[in-house]
Amino acid sequence: MKKVTVITSIFKGGSYIAGFMEDIIDQTVFNECEWYLLDACSPENEYSVIKPYLSRYNNIRYERLDSDPGLYACWNYMIENSDSEYVSNSNVDDRLLPQCLETHIKELDKNQDYDLAYCQNASTKIANDSYKNYKHLSEVPIYPTGPFDKKELLTHCYPSSHPVWRRSLHDRFGLFDENYKSASDHEFWLRCIANGSQDFLYIPQILGIYYFNPLGVSTNTDHDDWKSQEEQEVREKYAGLL
């Protein structure tokens, strides 16, 4: 059994997949990972880039679905079909520093009272940006986050992209709610905290780069109406429970 399963849902990621593959392969603890790639019937043939890696690395797992069931249905499928101690999601348009996963895992191993760890991320509007493009990542704007505050979790999704969490959270609190298009991770973190999970662990280091993708599910301004509606529904669901 591997230490961590990195789950990646692939849909229209052809512009990003090459650099993304190299970022995950370069993780300092890649040999301790199961990397689960689930192709949600993407029309962009990302498999042509992925295929050579499958013969080189026996810890990369690839499946293609006949249709796209939605992001969180993909996450749930991968979680249910893996058995590592930890889980982390990784999105094809974001980038990780080589020590990202190792740092999260070490912090959770040392701090058994915490169920999830998250870090700082630089924020860019440049597609396929990389830490290699900067002498210091402090030159790049920081995606808003900070030390965990249970009350503020209602309005601020601290974990953001690529947190690492104990898979036992799903045994205790269920899977991601597939009725949401973009707010299900926020809803799940709130569900965990509201029902007894310990505070989440903040790592005050820049360990990734978040791409503010104008075509992303949660960042496309054309989605603002339904996205705001989802966020409001989640806040109302947990208001008074934290």
Alpha helices, H only, the chain: 17-25, 47-56, 71-80, 100-110, 168-173, 184-194, 224-238
SS3 44: coil
- CATH says 4-238 is which class? alpha beta
Phi then psi dihedrals of residue 97, to 5 deg = -75, 155
Whether the predicted pLDDT of 241 surpasses 80: no
DSSP state for residue 142 in the 8-state scheme? B
In tens, the pLDDT along 7-53 reads: 999 999 999 999 999 999 999 999 999 999 999 999 999 999 999 99
Structure tokens at 165: 């969490």
In tens, the pLDDT along 188-213 reads: 999 999 999 988 999 999 999 999 77
Alpha helices, H only, 146-217: 168-173, 184-194
* pTM of the full structure: 0.94
